Amino acid sequence: MNNQNDMVPHYGAAQSFDDSEQQGFSTGDILWAVGVWSVILTLSPVIVFYMLMVA
């Protein structure tokens, strides 16, 4: 029994995506990044204030 042959069909199926769709950032990617950074920048002063009050 060779277990390496079991991975071959799955690897081939994973590589069937069109490369033209993978270039650049989509609008969803940019909105997701802006959302994440807005949460981080909004909560960072709250966390710093909390650490100063507790310490």
Q: What one-character-per-residue DSSP string does the chain give?
A: --GGGGGHHHHHHHT-S-GGGGSS--HHHHHHHHHHHHHHHHHHHHHHHHHHHH-
What is the value of pTM for the model shown? 0.48
Tell me the pLDDT tens digit for each residue of 11-40. Answer: 555 555 555 566 889 999 999 999 999 999
Q: Give 46's pLDDT tier (boundaries 50, 70, 90).
A: very high
With respect to residue 10, please indicate whether it lies within any of the assigned structural domains.
Answer: no
Total count of domains within the chain:
1
Residue range of the domain that includes 54: 25-55
9 in a domain, yes or no? no
Structural domain contains residue 1? no
Residue 42 lies in a domain: yes
Q: Is residue 11 situated within a structural domain?
A: no
- Using CA atoms, how far apart are residues 4 and 1, in angstroms rounded to an integer? 9
Residue 39: predicted pLDDT = 96
**Domain assignment of residue 36, yes or no:** yes
Residue 48 domain flag: yes
Residue 50 lies in a domain: yes
Q: What's the confidence (pLDDT) of residue 23? A: 81
